[in-house]
Amino acid sequence: MKTSKSLVSPMTLVVLAAGYFVAPIAIKAADGMDSAPVNQLLSDTKMEAVHLKNDSEGMQTFIGTTATWGSYSPTLAAIKGHVENAEKLLATLKTSEAAGSAWQQTAIKRIEPLLKELSDNTTETIKRLSANSGKVHDPTFQDYVRANYQLATGLQSLILDFVDYGSAKSKFDGLASKVQ
């Protein structure tokens, strides 16, 4: 009877087994580490989004009333301020993006186009109000006001979902580390 020599040494098996158990931990550590500064920036952006949505909702309540441009102007200025603050936060988020975990990077990428669209719409709404202060009851102007509200609501919802996800993920990770 012929005996065959094993192609895999016992040491190779030990190394492969160790790699099998250690590699997922290393991958998880590389991908799963949330950045605390990015989390804080996302929370700050969330607060701006809440203010944006509330002010946009307030401005939308003027539609169908006898409100004059004077009613819209301060609210629109507040919205513009919140958009500018959110843009500054987004710029800081973008510079911190590489330090964030995968979900944080995704959040930043998804927030950016919606905030850009809201910014553009707010700018156009301000231009229309400035150029046609007597036409606040014009359907086109009112469409801009409604669009601003919809965009602000979408932005708030998106950011809230990401911040809530990050919070839940952090709690889960904390519980998982207690089990190990």
- The letter for the amino acid at 156 is Q
pTM given for the model: 0.76
Confirm whether 17 is domain-assigned.
Answer: no
Instruction: Give the domain CATH number at 172.
Output: 1.20.120.520
Between helices 102-131 and 139-179, what is the axis angle to 10°?
160
Percent of the chain whose predicted confidence (pLDDT) is above 90: 50
Is residue 29, in this structure, part of any structural domain at all?
no
At 6 the pLDDT is 43
In whole angstroms, give the CA distance from residue 68 to residue 62.
9
What digits encode the pLDDT tens for the residues 37-75? 999 999 999 999 999 999 999 989 988 888 888 888 898
Q: Which amino acid is located at 6 in the chain?
A: S
How many domains, the chain? 1
pLDDT by residue (tens digit) across 118-136? 999 988 888 888 888 778 8
> Is residue 24 situated within a structural domain?
no
Q: Is residue 175 part of a domain?
A: yes
Q: Tell me how far apart the alpha carbons of residues 110 and 7 are, in angstroms, rounded to a whole number.
A: 51
From CA 1, how far away is CA 41, in angstroms rounded?
A: 72
